[in-house]
């Protein structure tokens, strides 16, 4: 029999966090084929019943098989008149994952079982949040907070520090804010992460809440800044003079016929070396820049732009107003 030697289409990190009345967990909504974002808008969270969500990282096909196994287990419990509890499901999946690993045919998943455990049936006051983790090798444990995948190396300590500030008194909005910030960081560190997230909540009062999508812009950008340059020089320099520093040219190779050869950062200024193609001098060029918002006041305007000729010592200054129009 051919075993799965390497997962094909995979999901990346899962982050979960307990709060005073339940559990919040977040996953992105992409399944990757290698490093390619193969399938978008795919949920990596599965609602088992009104008390449990199972989220996964790893092979998507293996988790689809697991969903059928979990569904059969739910029906088995209903036959004896009981609802499957988070602890019971965590124990069952632990045994299953360990058995598959022992037979050298593992399921290529890391599973997060998030739910609310009813200590006394139908008594919401005694319900306690539950997070259980099962790895591919069948190692299982319970925790108050967890990050899997590459986020386990990047974010576990940061999430723990935030949770310890309030501990069991952490509220749901505060827990959601922590996870939003954590998954924002995965965008910048994990090449397989996506900026489209899904937020899942298991609350003692409201039960399971799924399907809330959160989209984080990859770049917070200010208004487009345009600069018109009239020159007959074979080459010239452009200084972007602003405190934000992170001015980027929209097209680093060709900007309206201009070849952007080099870019330097000099004393909080971006210096672009512009070279005019042969035979195309004496032309009015339009340079376009967009400045990312990085300061605490949200200022994203270019203060002034210096167009330099042959020597940086001889320069003319072209100022832009707040709409990016040359004054």
Q: Which residues are catalytic?
A: 4
With residue 92 as reference, give the H or E element that holds it. helix 86-102
SS in 3 state form for 163-187? HHHHHHHCCHHHHHHHHHHHHHHHH
Token duo for residue 159? 């999430």
With vertex at residue 238, the alpha carbon angle to CA 232 and CA 240, rounded to the nearest 5 degrees, is 155
Nearest Cα residue to 130 out of 197, 74, 203: 203
Helix (H, G, I), strand (E, B) or coil at 116: strand
With residue 151 as reference, give the H or E element that holds it. helix 151-154
Please state the φ and ψ torsions of residue 201, each to the nearest 5 degrees: -130, 135
Please state the φ and ψ torsions of residue 307, each to the nearest 5 degrees: -100, 115
Gap between the Cα atoms of 31 and 14, Å rounded: 13
Q: Identify whether the C-beta of residue 171 lies closer than 8 Å to the C-beta of residue 129.
A: no
């Amino acid at each position: 029999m051919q075993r799965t030697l390497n997962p094909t289409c995979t999901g990346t990190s899962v982050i979960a966090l307990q709060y005073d009345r339940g559990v919040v967990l977040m996953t992105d909504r992409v399944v990757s084929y290698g490093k390619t974002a193969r399938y978008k808008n795919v949920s990596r969270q599965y609602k088992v019943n009104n008390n449990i969500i199972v989220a996964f990282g790893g092979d998507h096909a293996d988790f689809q098989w697991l969903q059928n196994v979990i569904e059969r287990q739910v029906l088995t419990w209903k036959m004896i008149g009981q609802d499957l509890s988070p602890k019971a499901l965590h124990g069952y999946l632990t045994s299953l994952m360990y058995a598959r690993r022992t037979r050298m045919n593992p399921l290529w998943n890391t599973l997060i079982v998030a739910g609310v455990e009813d200590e006394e049936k139908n008594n919401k006051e005694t319900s306690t949040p539950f997070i259980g983790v099962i790895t591919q090798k069948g190692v299982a444990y319970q925790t108050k907070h967890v990050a899997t995948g590459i986020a386990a190396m990047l974010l576990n300590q940061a999430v723990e520090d935030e949770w310890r500030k309030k501990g069991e008194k952490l509220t749901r909005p505060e827990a959601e804010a922590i996870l939003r910030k954590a998954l924002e960081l995965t965008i910048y560190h994990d090449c397989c992460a996506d900026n489209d997230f899904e937020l899942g909540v298991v609350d003692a009062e409201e039960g399971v809440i799924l399907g809330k999508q959160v989209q984080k812009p990859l770049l917070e950008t200010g208004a487009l800044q345009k600069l018109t340059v009239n020159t007959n020089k074979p080459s010239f320099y452009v200084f972007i003079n602003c405190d934000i520093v992170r001015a980027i040219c929209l097209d680093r190779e060709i900007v309206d016929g201009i070849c952007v050869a080099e870019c330097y950062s000099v004393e909080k200024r971006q210096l672009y070396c512009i070279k005019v193609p042969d035979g195309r001098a004496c032309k009015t060029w339009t340079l376009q820049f967009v400045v990312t918002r990085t300061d605490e006041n949200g200022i994203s305007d270019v203060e002034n732009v210096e167009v330099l000729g042959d020597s940086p010592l001889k320069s003319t200054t072209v100022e832009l107003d707040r709409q990016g129009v040359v004054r």
